[in-house]
Amino acid sequence: MLMFVIDALLQGILIGLLFALVALGLTIIFGVMDIVNFAHGEFLMLGMYTVYWTNYFFGIDPLLALPVSAILGILLGLASYYWLIRYLLRGPAIAQLFGTFGLMLFLQYLAMFLFSADYRMIDKGVLVGKSYSIGPFIFDRTKLAAGLLSLLSFALVYYFLYKTKTGKALQATAINKEAATYMGIKTDRMNALAWALGGGTVGIAGGLLVNFYYAYPMVGILFVMIAFACVALGGFGSIKGVFFAGLLIGILVMIFPVFGQLIGSDFIGPHFKFTIVYLAYFIIVVVRPQGLFGWKN
C-alpha cells in the first residue's frame, strides 16, 4: 500500500509540474492586467496541435518542435491582445469576461472546423512510449521530460521577471499600474508582454502535453479549470504560488483515488479525481482568497 502512495506522490509531482506550467501564463496575465483569460485552455490546445502537426508533416521530434509551439503561443497572445483585449479594457468587467469567453469559443470551433474533432496524440518520437524504471517505480519518459522542461521554463520565467529590467518593469506594472507609468513604463507594452509571455508558456505546455495526452478541440476546458484551481491556490498573480499550487493539485489528483482504495470505498474513485479539483477551487477562494502566496486580492 505504501508503494501506491509513494508512487502516486511521485506521479503527482510530475503531472503537477505540467499543471503549474499551464497555469503560469494565466497568473501572469492576471497579475499584470487583472483579466482572466478564459481562452487560456484554447491557447494550450493550439500549442498541442502545433506540435502534433509539425511532427506529423515534417517528422520533427516533438521535443524539438517545442520552440514552434512557443512561438505560436507568443503570437497568439499578442494577436489576442492587440485585436481584442485592448478593446475590452475600455468596457466593464462583464465585457472582459465575455470577450475572452467569445475568444475561447471561437478558437474551439475554429479548431473543430480545421482539424475535425478527431483525437490526436503523438506516436513518433525519441521518447514516446518508453519508460524509465527506478526501483519499483515506472515513469513514462515523456512525462519525465515534460516535468523537467516545465521546471526549466519556470526557472527561465523567474529569471526573466526578477533579474532583467523588462521583467522588473512587468512586475512594477502588476503591482501598481499608475506608479509604473510615472516611471516611464508604458502600460500598453507591458500588457502585450504579459500576453506574449502567457501565450508562450502555455504553448510550450501544450507541446509537452500532446506527448502523452490527445489533442482535440475541447481539450482546453478541462485544463483551464485545473489552471484556475492552481492560480487560486497559489494566489492570483504569484509565480511562486502557482508553482507550488500546481504540484499540490497534481498530487491531489493522483492521491485521491489511492485514498479511495485505501479506505476501500467505491464511491471515492478515479471518476471524481477532477471533481475534487473543482471543489478545491471553490473551497480555496471562499476560505482563503489570497491563496498560499497571494498578495493580490
Partner 1 sequence: MEKLKDAFDFSDFSKVERVCFYVFTVFLLVFPWLGVGSFVKTVMIQFMLFSLFGMGWNTIGGYGGQVELGKAQYVGIGAYTVALMMVWWKVPFWISMPVGVLIALGYSFIIGYPLFRLKGHYFAIATICTSLVLKDIFDNWNLVGAAKGIELPIHDHPDFLYMQFKSDTYYYYFIMVLFYIAIFYMNWFRKSKLGFQLRMIKDDEDAAESLGIDIRWCKIKAYSIASAFVAVGGGFMAVYNLYIDPASVMELSLTIKIALMAMLGGAASMWGPIIGAAFLVPLDRFLGSWLGGHKGLSGIDFMIYAMLIMIVSAYQPRGIWGIIEQFRKKER
Partner 2 sequence: MKSLRFILFLCVLLLSMAIITPAYAQKEIKIGVLYPLSGAMATIGRDLQRAAEFTVDIINNKTPGIDLPMAQWGGIPSLGNAKIKLIFVDHRGEPDRGADLAKRLILDDKVVGLTGAYNSAVTKTVSAVAERYGIPMINDASTSPDLTERGFKWFWRTTPHDNYFNRDLFEFLKGLTEGKVKGVKAVPRSQLQNLAYACENTEWGSGVAKSLEAYAKEYGFTIKKGILYNANSPDLTSEAKALVSVKPDAMLFASYLSDALLMIRTLKAMKANTNLLWGQDAGFEMADFAKQLGADINGVLTRTVFIDKITKVKKVAGQLNALYKKKYGDDLTGATARSVVSVQTWAYVLNKAGSTDPKAIQKACNEIHIPENELVMPWAGVKFDSKGQNILGRGLIGQYQKKPDGSISLEIVYPFELATANFIYPFPGWK
Query: How would DSSP label each residue in 143-203?
Result: HHHHHHHHHHHHHHHHHHHHHSHHHHHHHHHHH-HHHHHHTT--HHHHHHHHHHHHHHHHH
Q: Which stretch binds partner 1 (CB under 8 A): 70-78, 108-116, 183-191, 237-245?
A: 108-116
Beta carbon nearer to partner 2, 207 or 237: 207
Q: Residue 188, interface with partner 1 (CB under 8 A)? A: no
Alpha-carbon distance values, 83 to 54, 77, 78, 114, 151 (Å) = 26, 10, 8, 21, 32
Q: Which does 137 bind (CB under 5 to 8 A by kind): partner 1, partner 2, none?
A: none
Q: Indicate the DSSP class of residue 135.
A: T
| CA atoms of 291 and 296, how far apart (whole Å) | 10
Amino acid at 150: S
The residue count for binding partner 2 (CB under 8 A) is 36
Q: Residue 115, interface with partner 2 (CB under 8 A)? A: no
- Grid coordinates representing 12? 503527482
Q: Residue 212, interface with partner 2 (CB under 8 A)? A: yes
- Minimum distance from CB of 43 to partner 2 (Å)? 16
Work out which of 269, 279, 282, 283 binds partner 2, going by CB under 8 A.
Answer: 269
| CA atoms of 122 and 47, how far apart (whole Å) | 13
Helix (H) or strand (E) holding 75: helix 66-80
- Minimum distance from CB of 289 to partner 1 (Å)? 7
CB 175 within 8 A of CB 187: no
Q: Which does 156 bind (CB under 5 to 8 A by kind): partner 2, partner 1, none?
A: none
120's torsion region: left (phi>0), alpha (psi -120 to 50) or beta?
beta
Work out which of 87, 119, 132, 159 binds partner 1, going by CB under 8 A.
Answer: 87
Work out which of 258, 276, 277, 280 binds partner 2, going by CB under 8 A.
Answer: 258
291's torsion region: left (phi>0), alpha (psi -120 to 50) or beta?
left
Binding mask 26-55 for partner 1 (x = CB under 8 A): ----x-----x-------------------
| CA atoms of 288 and 253, how far apart (whole Å) | 20
Q: Residue 30, interface with partner 2 (CB under 8 A)? A: no
Q: Residue 218, interface with partner 2 (CB under 8 A)? A: yes
- Minimum distance from CB of 48 to partner 2 (Å)? 11
Helix (H), strand (E) counts: the chain: 12, 2
| CA atoms of 267 and 271, how far apart (whole Å) | 9
Q: Residue 270, interface with partner 1 (CB under 8 A)? A: no
Beta carbon nearer to partner 2, 86 or 141: 141
| CA atoms of 295 and 61, how far apart (whole Å) | 41
The residue ranges that bind partner 2 (CB under 8 A) are 4, 7-8, 11, 15, 112, 116-119, 121, 123, 129, 131, 138, 140, 209, 212-214, 216, 218-219, 222-223, 253-254, 256-258, 261, 269-271, 273-274
Q: Which residues bind partner 1 (CB under 8 A)?
A: 30, 36, 84, 87-88, 91-99, 101-103, 105-106, 108-110, 112-113, 221, 225, 228, 232, 236, 271-272, 274-275, 278-279, 281-282, 285-286, 289
